[in-house]
Structure 1
Amino acid sequence: MYIKKILLMMIMLFFFSTALYPEANLLQNGGFENDPDSCPPEGWVMWGGTQFKIPENYTRDQNNAKTGKYAFRIYHPENTAGYIITDPRKYPINPKSGGIYTVRFWARGDQPGTSAIWIASYKSIDPMVASRTIKSMSFDTEEDWKEYEYIIKEGIDFSAEESRIIYLCLFAAKDSKIEKTLWVDDFSVTESISKNDSALIDDAKIAYETLPLCLEPGDSVQITADASRVLRKTSKLFGGVSFHRMAGWAGRPYSKQGDYTLSAGMEAAIRDLHMPLTRVYALGDEAFSLEDAIDKFAAVLGKINVPQDTAILEFETQGASSKLPPEKWMEGVNHSLEKGYKFRYWEIGNETYKMLWNQGGAFPTPDDYIKHLKNVSAAIKKVHPAGKIGVSILAEHPGWGNYILKQAAGYYDFVVPHWYGMSSTDISFEETVLGNNHAILCRALQINELIKAYNPGKDVFQYDSEWGMSFRKGEKADYNFRNANIYGVVYRAVRLIYYTREKIIRGATSWELFTKNNAPGFGIFATDAENKRSMNYWLYYYYNRHIGDNILDIKGKGPYYKISPEVSGNRIPNQENVSVPFTPALITASPDKNEIYIMIVNGSWSKNFPCSINLENCSCSKSEGVILDNPNPDAHPMIDKKDDLVKPFAPNLKQKNYGFDLEFTLPAHSVVFITLKK
């Protein structure tokens, strides 16, 4: 009896204390009762262009309060872009590791309509360094009050190390063109700490091997390679280009009716790329059956001489708007095995994080995708134990990257990060092709360490099914010529050199084979202009012909470029004041050393560099090669004539006692391929 009384008293005390001390509101003036003359209310500041910062649009209203005396009235005139945020300077919200943050408020409108709230962050205030927008939500309002609630979790939605200051943004009208008044009241942000002991590794701090640069700083390019000093065997799994679908919008290689549409000339042109791998998605989302789609893919690979055992197959919708049940995946894989195909890479979902941009819908949260991945993985392994399961991640997002890698560990064999670059027309050529590539490569090395930590003792690796240069700030990458003209060629060439030389990831196939002539940003072939070739076609054509079996160790000097950390996306993990060579190089050799292959890039837009390459223990006496160069930064990437980009380039060899010297000028913004033969 005595123990029961004690327990009863403890329970009563708990509820009494909870009522006395409710969860603390991290927002200043969430009820809008302080300082009645302040416009906007204390704790909030106007944001956006100066012309939109009109105090009279952000007032307290004592005639429309939900509780207390006042509500916050936000007026949005039509065709304006002003909004309001919680003050990150005076009243910052500093998140904690493992923190769960609940945003609650009441709202109503002067008319039915859509408003928006963002949860955003800064890495620092002085200096002001923006971090990620953690969540952006739309909410529909009526003339009556309605309560809204949103939750974010540290370690899943954001990292406290990266997002050190959180703030809220309120938009009375989601559509800037309309006039709307919004009232909000009883605004709160509360914090609780997760009791989950299985905390994520902080990937912002995880150590990784520095990317080898091979060349020391110098005024000119001076490279030495010894044909007898092999660094490692060459992985030849980087020269692939991905299909879109079997019957996608471009109508290649099949029509939606299932008819084969590749001409003999197109077949031959693809075959001439010598692709070592490729990828296709949405095989289970065609007008014909999944089994028929797999058969068609196998048939195409046979026609273009791409091996089956390196190809990546994905079955679900490209936009992650729906998913296939595990049984359907198992049926497709089993069909492949019964037909004797050698397919073994099964990618579960394409960019499954689409909900971050209010797209997709099949996977509202990372946990939804993790559950699906585990179920599909288990189903596939029942019929194909040797099959490799691919997991889709967004490496820069804690929830869709780090969290998935941890929670799904044991159910995936390879990781698909889609390492797209990000540039814009106001970013320099050098910052794009050198800075952005280096940042991505370092991040990929860091992800390798995360994969190892979550999968100890297992051979789990990155094997990418899409990558390329791309654009941000609203610039549509498919229509941006620089994405695929000489800008994009040099960008991809730099990546290919480091991928091949440094074994950062296991393999990669870039985006994409087919497009239309008016959307040339990624595609290699324009289906409405079959005689044209993308400039990137010739990059892959020569790259796949200049990869020997052995990578040679190279040493030397070369001019350096200092990367700007101020360029968004170019910050190097755990490094400051980073400089890299203007001229990344790759030298490989045949096993008998009778052929040496050289690939070297000039990542400066305006500077030519004198170049000397000394080859020791080399018996070659002839050189032949090409240079990829085009002077127009805004040229259309689809070219009629090969010599609009490709020109002969064969520097003379000077014989030495135990080898040869090559001396030449490396032109600005160019890619050079040289073959040395006996």
Structure 2
Amino acid sequence: MSSVFHAFAGNVPVFNGDFEQVSPATPPPGWTMWGDQKWKIASNYTRDTDRPHGGQASFRIVHPKGTQGYIVTDPSRALQPKRGMAYTFSFFVRGEHDGAGRFGLTAYQSLKTYLDAPSPGSWEIPLATDWKKYSFTIREGLDFFAGEACYILLTFKATSDADTAQTMWVDDITIDESPNPAGTVQLIDPSTLKKKPAEPMLAVGEKLDVIIYTERVIKPVNLLIGGMSFHRLDGHSGYPFDKKGKYVMTEETAGAIRELRLPMTRFYGVGDGPWSVEESIDRVAELCQKTGIPTAHVILELETENASKSLPPEIWERAVKRSVEKNYGFRHWEVGNEIYGPALWGSKAGMAYATPDEYAKHVAEVAKAVRGVQPDARIGLSISDQSLRWGNYLLRIAAGSYDFVCPHFYAGVDLNKPLETIVIETNKTIMERVETLKALLAAYNPDRAVTILDSEWALYGACPGDKEPEVNERNRNIVSILHRAVRMIGYVQDNPLEGASGWELLGNPAYPGYGILYPAQPGKRSINYMFYRLWNSQIGSDVLGMKGSAPANIASLATISADKKSVSVVLVNASVDKAVSATLKLNAGAATALMLSQPSLDSLAYDASTNEPKPLPTTVRDNTVTLELPARAVVFVSVDMGR
């Protein structure tokens, strides 16, 4: 007679893991359909007595073509892991035909609210028509944290490809628990680190009503957050150089870039062009000279942007040597672009680094070669802050080799969500991620000043059904600049990173989601371009203190010029349809305001009839500025100080 707790390997029971409990229930007891309700078809998850691996039955999982259903451990039977322990999951599987199923671990911090936790792992499992055993091991403190992934659900999918019909059978599931092997790397749990809490300057109120303290300087303005990144030198836009190395960008476009006053930028794939790395360095220097971008704050990434192959340290050394010999001033060298991509997302082009260890070894070798030529060079590490292995673990094993990290804080939000969620709440989450990363950097580099110098970031959202974010207009229109403005206000107020360069400067009409300029159409300007031009020209030198109240969907920043004669106030209204009265109390002599807004959340970014800055009426009385802050708008208020 079979027990419902079929196995106690390592004292961890798996309820009905051998599927011997006789029951008409579908799915079998101990298992639950998960995911979107429309894919929860009970008849696809049944106990099957035909050809079990052991005993009298196995678990039959049917995946019809074009569906996305899957099965998990019943949450009431979730594994509750312990600190310092390793868990090995073993089972037997077979398929109706050859293919690839998937086994993973769905994790939650809380089951009361189903608060998600990062998955400790997900693995493709090759299927054949005969039974085959698979085992996968996770280690607490290396692959997950018990204080975060408090409840773990075993997760099975019959196929890794939703468009492939497949039936998979599973049997004899066991879990073995044992202490982590000797020598297991123990990572720092970010939840144990002290992080700077968010400190809102303003209370919540119905109107924006603030006092700006022009004599109370909080901190210097970090001007480096107003950067914008290039693609490649011979990028997908066909500019600024063609494939033969000829400079083809018009003076009109170069002039437009100069007007942006970019404090920093970044190029990737610099060593992957159709010319020598020395010629590439020359071309970057030429471009910076033409566009007025200071080379001291240019990040250069040499390897191919899809991380399909690496470049030997000798190539990096040659590039740095060229810059030093020509006195170009480049000193920021980012080793690889999103190097975790092929491992996490897959790639048909190849994989330069299969593991974080391979990449860390390469970074150490490149750092040694680069610093041998340029002792004050700064080495950048490509990381995914949301991946334990390609983030936390990589920060630890590569410590000492890198001087800054490039996490690429893309928001990745559903663009059908409410505007306030996209603009305000999503940025709060991003800022929490930034502070967590900052704390980890300090913990792993206690004797070195390591910073966050983000070489790419943007809204990068999509709507259900979008083939890719690049096709969605909201990634570059008013929705984009509302999101960017709130992010940049947070970066200036909290100063959590060294600099940030947004994505991307030169666009291609075939990829409408990005590109604030079209070199092929040099007369065009996007609303994102207008925003960056205003930001970099109007932001002052120091952040001022403020006190008062504002609605929760309002963001604000006040800065003062170096000569203390003018104040610049940036206001963001993330409401989709409600204007807000604004009162700014300071020693104002005169004030003007420029507004960026568009009539629709789907307005075209390059529509000159809606994307130009427009004057906004202001009133100055008794040293106080009043105005009406329109819905879905970014407003720049310039105040001349009174005598």
Letter in 2 for 1:540: Y
Q: Percent identity?
A: 36
2:569 to 579, 591, 598: 598
- What TM-score comes out, normalization by structure 2 length? 0.91
Q: Is the 8 A contact 1:241 1:511 kept in 2?
A: yes
Report deviation, 1:374: 2.2
Matches within 5 A, 1:63-142: 63-89=50-76, 91-142=77-128
Mean Cα displacement is larger for which, 49-58 or 340-349? 49-58
Match of 2:243 in 1: 256
2:619 to 627, 636, 652: 652
Determine the C-alpha separation between the residues in 2 that align with 1:245 and 1:666: 39
Letter in 2 for 1:412: Y
Q: Is the 8 A contact 1:490 1:669 kept in 2?
A: yes
Mean Cα displacement is larger for which, 367-376 or 267-276? 367-376
Match of 1:369 in 2: 359
SS of structure 1 residue aligned to 2:433:
helix
Determine the C-alpha separation between the residues in 1 that align with 2:257 and 2:377: 27
1:290 to 262, 277, 302: 277
SS of structure 2 residue aligned to 1:211:
coil
Report deviation, 1:311: 0.7
1:358 to 346, 353, 356: 346
Mean Cα displacement is larger for which, 258-267 or 398-407? 398-407
Report deviation, 1:628: 0.8
Report deviation, 1:278: 0.3
Matches within 5 A, 1:275-354: 275-354=262-341
Q: Does 1:496 align with 2:465?
A: no
Report deviation, 1:170: 1.8
Report deviation, 1:362: 2.3
Determine the C-alpha separation between the residues in 2 that align with 1:54 and 1:452: 49
Q: Is the 8 A contact 2:10 2:175 kept in 1?
A: no
Matches within 5 A, 1:467-482: 467-471=457-461, 475=466, 476-482=468-474
Letter in 1 for 2:208: V
Letter in 2 for 1:335: R
Determine the C-alpha separation between the residues in 2 that align with 1:264 and 1:630: 29
Determine the C-alpha separation between the residues in 2 that align with 1:38 and 1:435: 42
Report deviation, 1:185: 3.0
SS of structure 1 residue aligned to 2:359:
helix
Mean Cα displacement is larger for which, 220-229 or 624-633? 220-229
Match of 2:3 in 1: none
Report deviation, 1:472: 5.2
Report deviation, 1:494: 1.1
Determine the C-alpha separation between the residues in 2 that align with 1:627 and 1:136: 47
Report deviation, 1:593: 1.8
Match of 2:634 in 1: 671
**Per-residue CA shift, 1:67-107, capped at 9, x if unaligned?**
44443333333444333222222x21112233333333332
Determine the C-alpha separation between the residues in 2 that align with 1:218 and 1:71: 60
Distance 1:648 1:122, change over 3 A: same
Determine the C-alpha separation between the residues in 2 that align with 1:549 and 1:415: 25
Letter in 1 for 2:400: G
Q: Is the 8 A contact 1:650 1:674 kept in 2?
A: no
Determine the C-alpha separation between the residues in 1 that align with 2:63 and 2:432: 44
Letter in 2 for 1:610: S
Mean Cα displacement is larger for which, 342-351 or 100-109? 100-109
1:629 to 594, 597, 613: 597
Letter in 2 for 1:201: I
Q: Is the 8 A contact 2:592 2:616 kept in 1?
A: yes
Determine the C-alpha separation between the residues in 2 that align with 1:592 and 1:174: 61
Q: Does 1:237 align with 2:224?
A: yes
Match of 2:505 in 1: 513
Mean Cα displacement is larger for which, 176-185 or 34-43? 34-43
SS of structure 1 residue aligned to 2:514:
coil
Report deviation, 1:37: 5.8
Match of 2:4 in 1: none
Distance 1:608 1:190, change over 3 A: same
Determine the C-alpha separation between the residues in 1 that align with 2:480 and 2:345: 26
Match of 2:385 in 1: 395
Determine the C-alpha separation between the residues in 2 that align with 1:95 and 1:157: 12
Determine the C-alpha separation between the residues in 1 that align with 2:191 and 2:491: 22
Determine the C-alpha separation between the residues in 1 that align with 2:420 and 2:442: 33
Report deviation, 1:601: 1.6
Q: Does 1:454 align with 2:433?
A: no
Cα RMSD after superposing both structures: 2.5
- What TM-score comes out, normalization by structure 1 length? 0.87
Report deviation, 1:276: 0.7
Letter in 2 for 1:130: D
Report deviation, 1:51: 6.1
SS of structure 2 residue aligned to 1:466:
coil
Q: Is the 8 A contact 1:207 1:449 kept in 2?
A: yes
Mean Cα displacement is larger for which, 511-520 or 196-205? 196-205
Determine the C-alpha separation between the residues in 1 that align with 2:351 and 2:172: 31
Report deviation, 1:25: 5.2
Match of 2:526 in 1: 534
SS of structure 2 residue aligned to 1:515:
coil
1:463 to 449, 453, 472: 453
Determine the C-alpha separation between the residues in 1 that align with 2:48 and 2:626: 77
Report deviation, 1:115: 2.1
Gaps of 5+ in 1: 1-19, 562-581
Letter in 2 for 1:606: D
- Divergent runs of 4+, >6 A: none
Distance 1:615 1:53, change over 3 A: closer
Mean Cα displacement is larger for which, 322-331 or 489-498? 322-331
Match of 1:586 in 2: 557
Match of 1:434 in 2: 424
Distance 1:521 1:43, change over 3 A: same
Match of 1:555 in 2: 547
Gaps of 5+ in 2: 1-6
